[in-house]
């Protein structure tokens, strides 16, 4: 997830925490299709709508003043334990922010990926000409 998102290795702990969150909510064949969270708490984990792509762009809504922007751009890192809300990395202040009122831009991340793949494919398809050098050999 970390390499796919393009984030630096500094965020490895956040990626690990979100991976743990996902694994605990996936059904397992060994548990007859139940999730680890369901076995532990007794209630089914059916909050799949809150799952997002790790590292996608997110806009958290702010109400600082009338003339300031209504939302600020951040990067989605996961969820915070015990608090309802999303963990977001706000790069301008270099802080993790917790917010419930967030709009995600997952399609923008997927479109960016597709354009990068097209650039890579077009870069691979360049024609290269090799110049051959012929050295005459003298026979004695």
Written as tens digits, the pLDDT of the chain (140 aa) is: 888 888 889 989 999 998 988 888 888 888 888 888 888 888 777 677 778 889 899 999 988 788 878 899 999 999 887 888 899 999 999 999 999 989 998 887 777 767 767 666 665 555 556 666 666 777 66
Can you give the residue range of the structural domain that contains 80?
Answer: 2-107
Task: Tokens 């762009």: give the residue.
Answer: 57
pLDDT for 95 equals: 92
Cβ atoms 87, 80 nearer than 8 A: yes
Question: Which pair of tokens denotes residue 136?
Answer: 């005459």
State residue 87's pLDDT score: 92
Judge whether 128 lies within some domain. no
Strand partners, 59: 73, 103
Under 8 Å CB-to-CB from 11, ≥6 apart: which residues?
A: 2, 77, 89
3-state secondary structure of 75: strand
pLDDT reported for residue 133: 67
Coil/strand/helix, residue 72: strand
Instruction: With CA atoms as reference, report the closest residue to 15 among 101, 79, 59.
Output: 79
The answer to the question of residue 113 being in a domain is no
In a domain, 29, yes or no: yes
Query: Does the predicted model carry a pTM greater than 0.75?
Result: no
In a domain, 124, yes or no: no
Domain count, the chain: 1
Q: Is residue 123 part of a domain?
A: no
Return the DSSP state at 27. Answer: B
Residue 130 maps to a domain: no
Question: Has residue 54 been placed in a domain?
Answer: yes
36 within some domain: yes
């Amino acid at each position: 997830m970390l390499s796919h998102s393009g984030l630096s290795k500094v965020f490895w702990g956040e990626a690990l925490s979100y991976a743990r969150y996902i694994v605990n909510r996936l059904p397992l064949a060994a548990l007859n299709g139940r999730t680890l969270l369901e076995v532990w708490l007794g209630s089914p984990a059916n909050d799949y709508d809150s799952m997002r792509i790790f590292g996608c762009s997110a806009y958290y809504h702010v109400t600082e003043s009338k003339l300031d922007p209504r939302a600020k751009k951040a990067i989605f890192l996961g969820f915070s334990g015990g608090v309802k809300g999303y963990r977001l990395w706000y790069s301008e202040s270099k802080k993790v922010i917790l917010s419930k009122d967030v709009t995600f831009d997952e399609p923008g991340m997927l479109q960016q990926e597709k354009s990068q793949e097209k650039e890579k494919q077009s870069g691979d398809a360049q024609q290269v000409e090799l110049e051959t050098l012929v050295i005459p050999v003298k026979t004695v």
